[in-house]
Structure 1
């Protein structure tokens, strides 16, 4: 029976390689997490020779076109498995099987266990050291033989795949320029549905197409007490003026001749309207010194994230794609929304440093080292000694710590 548990003896080695092997991606958390983990799961499927199937969740079909012509990667609607039962306490998770001795690790490092028709891999941000063994080479030698794998994640885990010597040679052949991994995968896999593409083209043609230069600003507030809206608005203005992304205003001159050949369009993506209002009013109340024509636009301001709402996700996906048309991006610390926009655009953004204690950070923003997203919860784990280890950001030259999330890791261009 499909995905039925085995009751074989625990000393038996895994099943021989199946003719076809499958990975089923299951949805978890918000839209940004969906996109980043879909890309990660797809790359892992390529590396391990698996057919990838996608749990369609609530609104996946409304957001994206199928990436492969004349084929589908969606799990059939009559599939006889409820993927919502797979969570951290599930007995069939790889981490729990290690924890309770159903799968064992010999002193030589070899992983052994019963012949399993399927395995569940749990990789949300709360995963533990047993779950993190997914990234270890002996464990992958065991897992690669499982006919079916169900995976739930909310992190972009591609950087950790480069730390595995089984995968690194093929990954380096696929991606000589390491920071372009998500850029290439996102453009290959994630095509807006007709509904979303209509929203994108209508907005672009109406408000953005006339801009000689396009600046995208994406602002996400995770804690209003630590990061008050007015303070973050000041921060965004400080950043864009200091780095020359927006022209300074002429406070001492009531009129400056406008240069109609120098137009700058500013697209702001945020749940709140205060940021676009502040920048728009600044250029309404004062001329700018260069005479550039600055227009400020914000497609929506939903006020709060509505995870699982199809209408909310349609707008979010359209705004991510609109941001990717920008020449320069300013994004928020740790935001998956910004990661996807910069990856699609293929540019390194300026990152707004997250304020703490309601105080203005200095500097207000910093330049990102890479266009690739950050893996927020990497495995600080030594596979050989089965314990936490020093630093996954110092193993190889092109995997370093993230500037916005220091405990995370990300891919950068080669430094040698």
Structure 2
């Protein structure tokens, strides 16, 4: 124990002595040891509604287990515009009970594993059923959107959620979200989970995929298929027509009795679930305000592990806490960063900041005297490159007396690198504490930050990687997003009832519309302007 305290003390000394340089860079030492001595070991205490996020969170955890869980709300000066519905809160408490009953180590879980190993299909209604979220080699933002999507589907279909343990080292990044159990699929050389070795190999061509099972059944002479012990749902980009049938009521009924659903995706499928008639009613009761789905589920599900949270809070106290107003800029280029391209990205950000007066308080707030002036503004820059930080500091430093800050600059995105992911997660949370957000279109990193914040960002359109990069700044350089919700990057355009494609997927229901950053994507937006 003494050694652990000493390591923690070294981390704190590294923080105090190592920061404050030109780039305010976040030291790696904060990700190698947590400060243990200051943790509150009391098993229980009085928690406020604010700490419990108006009922989203259970009070069943101790503070020692995860500091971010109940400290999170204290770093957000804005009061949330939307509170979770009582129905959603009740659903979450019910789901926590389901996770405890069906989770790893329980008798129902052992029975479900036995049946999976033997190849038994659907059982009686008393069996536990599962959704396994399978991660793969993509950025942390993509993986977080995929886990939220799998969780939402698990709650809707009354299944326990298990996250594959190799999904970007989830255990190192996040605290357990469900009291009294784990959300991690046990990792023990495959001796207990019969098809663990298959998980990473599953793709759109796998015979266990819903698309291939439907194609095989359609071509067989039999009109009925045997019960499936598990089904792989291939919902990432590049799927086939039969995979899209997941979003049809007929296939939702068919999947209802399958004990194990293995979900692989790299996007946020909630808008697609709202287009499924049989799911829409329950989703509407859970989320009467459709543009707050990720805001509620992300804050419920993701709690940075203590080492990550220590980095977030230490940096915030040192560089951001004294500012009267925080402006966050998330800059991303999707092509090789040539000098010409970098100048276009920089000028686009600066043009947006000038045009929309992002460094000034809103006129209504300024007139009412409820906010400070621009001299108290601080700017937080998140980017893989340090080049933007230096130019923005030179350009805006005089208008931002609170300073221009960049916690880290990784140079490039590194998948399956735990330290890289920890720094990325800390910057998502730092960005989400800002009062105003300027984000780059297409970016799942930005989606997560704006969703956690509940802030409608100013969005800078960017051309996707498969097109030629922008040669000049678009006009206008940015637009206000309709909601904080992430975009669904791979929606199904198939109208199951009409058995043809939608004439306009953005007009099927009032609260699903096309995205600002790509017209072929969709997002949730109910027209609210209260954010």
SS at 2:401 equivalent: strand
In the alignment, what sits opposite 1:85?
Answer: 201
SS at 2:271 equivalent: helix
Q: After superposition, what is the alpha-carbon deviation per residue over 1:226-278, rounded to whole angstroms, capped at 9, x for unaligned?
A: 9811111111011011100126xxxxxxxxxxx99931110111101121111
2:297 aligns with one of 181, 185, 192:
185
Tell me the TM-score normalized by structure 1. Answer: 0.88
Matches within 5 A, 1:321-332: 321-332=429-440
In the alignment, what sits opposite 2:171?
Answer: 61
In the alignment, what sits opposite 1:266?
Answer: 379
Offset of 1:184 from its aligned partner?
0.2
In the alignment, what sits opposite 2:147?
Answer: 38
In the alignment, what sits opposite 1:390?
Answer: 503
Offset of 1:6 from its aligned partner?
5.1
Judge conservation of contact 2:380–2:405 (CA < 8 Å) in 1: yes
Matches within 5 A, 1:109-258: 112-224=224-336, 228-246=341-359
Offset of 1:19 from its aligned partner?
1.9
In the alignment, what sits opposite 1:408?
Answer: 521
Judge conservation of contact 2:462–2:470 (CA < 8 Å) in 1: no
Worse overlay, 355-364 or 322-331: 355-364
Judge conservation of contact 1:398–1:414 (CA < 8 Å) in 2: yes
Measured in 1, the distance between the counterparts of 2:269 and 2:415 equals 22
Offset of 1:141 from its aligned partner?
0.4
Structure 1: which 4+ aligned runs deviate by more than 3 Å?
1-8, 14-18, 102-106, 224-227, 259-262, 384-389
Tell me the TM-score normalized by structure 2. Answer: 0.70
Measured in 2, the distance between the counterparts of 1:50 and 1:278 equals 50
Measured in 2, the distance between the counterparts of 1:67 and 1:246 equals 36
Q: After superposition, what is the alpha-carbon deviation per residue over 1:87-109, rounded to whole angstroms, capped at 9, x for unaligned?
A: 22111010111223368899xxx
SS at 1:230 equivalent: helix
Measured in 1, the distance between the counterparts of 2:420 and 2:450 equals 21
Q: After superposition, what is the alpha-carbon deviation per residue over 1:271-324, rounded to whole angstroms, capped at 9, x for unaligned?
A: 01121111111245xx44xxx514100011111100110010000000000001
Measured in 1, the distance between the counterparts of 2:337 and 2:160 equals 45
2:483 aligns with one of 370, 381, 389:
370
SS at 2:277 equivalent: coil
Specify which structure has the higher proportion of strand.
1
- Please report the RMSD computed on the Cα atoms of aligned residues, expressed in angstroms: 2.5
Unaligned runs of 5+ in 1: 9-13, 248-258
Specify which structure has the higher proportion of helix.
2
Q: After superposition, what is the alpha-carbon deviation per residue over 1:19-47, rounded to whole angstroms, capped at 9, x for unaligned?
A: 21111111122211111011111111111
In the alignment, what sits opposite 1:48?
Answer: 157
Matches within 5 A, 1:331-350: 331-350=439-458
Measured in 2, the distance between the counterparts of 1:52 and 1:410 equals 24
Offset of 1:115 from its aligned partner?
1.1
Offset of 1:112 from its aligned partner?
4.5
Measured in 2, the distance between the counterparts of 1:283 and 1:84 equals 46
Measured in 2, the distance between the counterparts of 1:224 and 1:105 equals 53
Measured in 2, the distance between the counterparts of 1:191 and 1:49 equals 23
In the alignment, what sits opposite 2:15?
Answer: none
CA gap 1:194/1:53 in 2 versus in 1, 3 angstroms: same
Measured in 2, the distance between the counterparts of 1:390 and 1:16 equals 41
User: How many equivalent residue pairs?
Assistant: 391
CA gap 1:214/1:140 in 2 versus in 1, 3 angstroms: same
Q: Does 1:75 align with 2:191?
A: no
Offset of 1:357 from its aligned partner?
3.9
Offset of 1:17 from its aligned partner?
3.9
SS at 1:201 equivalent: helix
Offset of 1:4 from its aligned partner?
4.7
Worse overlay, 95-104 or 342-351: 95-104
Unaligned runs of 5+ in 2: 1-113, 361-371, 464-468
